[in-house]
Amino acid sequence: MKVTPEVLAEVALTEEEYQLIVDKLGREPTLVELGMFGAMWSEHCGYKHSRPLLKRFPTDGPRVVQGPGENAGAVDIGDGLVAVLKIESHNHPSAVEPYQGAATGVGGIVRDIFTMGARPVALLNSLRFGPLDEPRNRYLFSGVVGGIGGYGNCLGVPTVAGDIFFDPGYSGNPLVNAMCVGIARRDELMRARASGPGNLVLLVGADTGRDGIHGATFASVEDPEKSHRGVVQVGNPFLEKLLMEACLEALRTPHVVAMQDLGAAGLTSSTVECASRGGVGIEIDVAKVSRREAGMTPYEVMLSESQERMLVIVRPEGLDEVRAIFDHYDLHFDIIGVVTDDGLVRVRDGEEVVAEVPARLFTDECPVYVRDAAESPVIAALRARDVRAVPDLADRDGAGVTPAEALLRLLASPNIGSREPVTRTYDSTIMTNTVLGPLMGDAAVLRVKGTSFGLAVKTDCNPRYGYLDPYLGGVHAVAEAARNVSCVGAEPIAVTDCLNFGSPERPEGYYQLTRAIDGMADACRALGVPVVSGNVSLYNESGDAAIPPTPTVGVLGRLADVRRHAGMGFVAGGAVYLVGPLEATLGASEYLALIHGQVAGAPPALDLALEAAVQRAVRSAIAAGLVVAAHDTSEGGLAVAVAESCIAGGIGGRFDLAPVLRANGGRRDVALFGEAGARVLLQAPPGGKAALEAHLRAHDVPFQHLGAAGGDALVIEGLLAVPLAALTRAWRGALAQ
């Protein structure tokens, strides 16, 4: 085989990496080996730019049962149960074929969960698109939303939460991050670590086709539209449902030693990772792999990413019992190989050996790169811009944009308005575990049947913050996701993250990646929340433009008593408080971008000690029954948060923001729409004002009484008065238009 630059480009390897392979093997690789190295040494599988940086995350904690390094992370939730969680990207496939790209992203993340022996109980999605006034972005948006709903609804797993953001930086490269949470018994948790020489290697589920070949390398190159258009996988959710039930049943037998999803890099990654984690070898015969297309080569079989397939390691004496389970679910399987004791991944095509490589060369000896990092001077200049130079809002009867006009425009913004046109396409209540679903609270709340406790889940990331200051973008992503979980009354106990960035080979790209990880790590330590799983998606670029840095964070929380939770809707008569700092900033705000057309200024600074204290105070107040509504203030600032809680509760309110106005130098725009961290709106039940105030004083957190809910209009003294119907109409029309 003649290895040309074109051949190396096809497998996303550099000439230096190819020479390293030759040196390690002591010979030229075969074609199959070259393809396997290309997949396993890709950024998607090998994490060659991010692996050193990921070590900065805190990954241990009293509840951590399984940290990074397995199919998913797991944390103890009590009563002998664990919650299993993971988030992953399917960005590049979704840019090419949005429906199948998103659908197979859901399928892949669900398999990561039930492979661990956990029953999936919740799906979330974090989505990023370009502006919807562009036809192609509308096509991507509708395709992705359709794919998520079409696959998840068929599986019978509820889609309960997520987040969506629109920005021109995603026009060429949308982001589709899918998260899944499952529940398992702690003593039944399964790992993907092959063991026991002589144990059988089974390939279960769909037949293998040519879809998805080079999917892992495709996810590790720039400009997906110009490369490997044919690699997008095609999903079958009904087959996945059968596979899920069969695998969960098989895992309850004593015969399954290990289980691994065939995701990125297909049969290559599943065999390599099982062997490497277990410190053993695996020998397979691709001639025994059932195929749905004629003439497939060993190279294609090893790199196919056909969906709904699982690698299962089974003890020979248990084969008949496992076979009966798969037969019951009408699932085909092939015995394709055995576990060995030589540490080699050996691939045969009948009698011919087409690949024979020590497993560690694919994993432990993948090259690792540390690049030069430098901030873009253009972005540094934007961050340094004095955003308070923009004109303040006009008086109610003055010229210019009035507070009421600004509020209505913000509520109608796609980044703030109702997600109902999206969420109503998803089944959020199937399995009957959903206590708080979409649009009801800052995070979803799920009961854990048979117990008194519950779980809360949410994803978050403000890419505008990450663009202007990657460090603060990382800090805020963790803090806001944890704050959302705290606002429903749950204690954050675990983080899973999806790091979406451009090319790390560019100094500005590597700078963004390193600084965001530093910010996330600092926030996780300050809030006491370990990172237990995650995914890295780099090279998200179109042409010469990279996406805004988007470190998506999913947080899992635990409620000691699932009945003690809070939604975001105000009720009549209850006093409303702002807990946290009064000061805010226009830097990186939705207001500045929407009203003044500027993405500039520094994002809000964040006192992590105060953030932790505010979240503790909020959680304990909800647990004590002192709160009927809680809502964090994020995009759009204080006035938008108040309006959202009024809309959610179907009630108006009268509020006085004079102290907030004074704290912000008399600027109406900053007081109403400036953004800040560590801020939460709390509402006491009618008659509960004194008790909530005493609780907040005891927790030594700043708070300010703002007013009370009631009536059919939102009135902010001296600034605006808007009928609730007008607020609701603007908010509901944001995506419906």
Distance CA 100, CA 77 (A): 34
Using CA atoms in the order 69, 72, 74, 79, what is the torsion angle rounded to 10 degrees? Answer: -140
Using CA atoms in the order 533, 537, 538, 543, what is the torsion angle rounded to 10 degrees? Answer: -160
Distance CA 589, CA 464 (A): 8
Contact of 120 with 180, CB cutoff 8 Å:
yes
- Let me know if 328 is a catalytic residue: no
Contact of 356 with 344, CB cutoff 8 Å:
yes
Q: Residue 633, SS3?
A: coil
Rounded to 5°, the CA angle 683-688-693 comes to 75
From the list 49, 90, 214, 565, the catalytic residue is 90
- Other CB atoms closer than 10 Å to residue 317's CB: what's the count? 9
Distance CA 623, CA 619 (A): 6
Tokens of 557: 């929380």
Task: Using the CB atoms, write b or e for 330-350: b if 16+ within 10 Å.
Answer: ebebbbbbbbbeebbbbbbbe
Distance CA 677, CA 632 (A): 9
- Let me know if 44 is a catalytic residue: yes
Cα distances (angstroms) measured from residue 408 to each of 247, 348, 413: 50, 65, 9
Among the listed residues 549, 632, 638, the one whose alpha carbon sits nearest the alpha carbon of residue 591:
638
Contact of 362 with 355, CB cutoff 8 Å:
no
From the list 44, 49, 228, 255, the catalytic residue is 44
Using CA atoms in the order 729, 732, 733, 736, what is the torsion angle rounded to 10 degrees? Answer: -150
- Other CB atoms closer than 10 Å to residue 725's CB: what's the count? 11
Please count the helices (runs of H) and the strands (runs of E) in the chain: 27, 28
Cα distances (angstroms) measured from residue 543 to each of 131, 171, 299: 18, 11, 30
Q: Residue 316, SS3?
A: helix
* In 202-236, alpha helices (H): 215-218
Give me the active site residues, please.
44, 90
